[in-house]
Structure 1
């Protein structure tokens, strides 16, 4: 479970970093790319968070 929590935190950090790069990018294609990456990483983080929650529920 600790490794999943660590991965969740890493995904959230990576999503935030991509959003920051998106906000700082002057090139439209780079903004679009980093926007898609931030969105994708956020979805992955939500899925990991859901899996963690389901794991806790099944143990309880």
Structure 2
């Protein structure tokens, strides 16, 4: 379960960093890329969190 938690925290951190880069980007293409990355990482984090809950409830 610790592996899941560590991965979840990493994904959330990476998503936040991508969102920050997106917000600071001046080029529209870069903004769009980092927006897509932030969204994708957030979805992955949600999926890991759901897997943790499913595993916990068995």
TM-score normalised per structure 1 = 0.96
Shift of 1:9: 0.2
Match of 2:20 in 1: 20
Answer with 1 or 2: which has the greater Rg: 1
The runs of at least 4 consecutive aligned structure 1 residues that moved more than 2 Å come to none
TM-score w.r.t. structure 2 length? 0.99
Partner SS state of residue 8, structure 1? helix
For structure 1, list consecutive stretches of 5 or more residues without a partner in the other structure.
none
Q: CA RMSD in A?
A: 0.3
Aligned length: 58
Q: Distance in 1 between matches of 2:6 and 2:35?
A: 23
What is the deviation of 1:50?
0.1
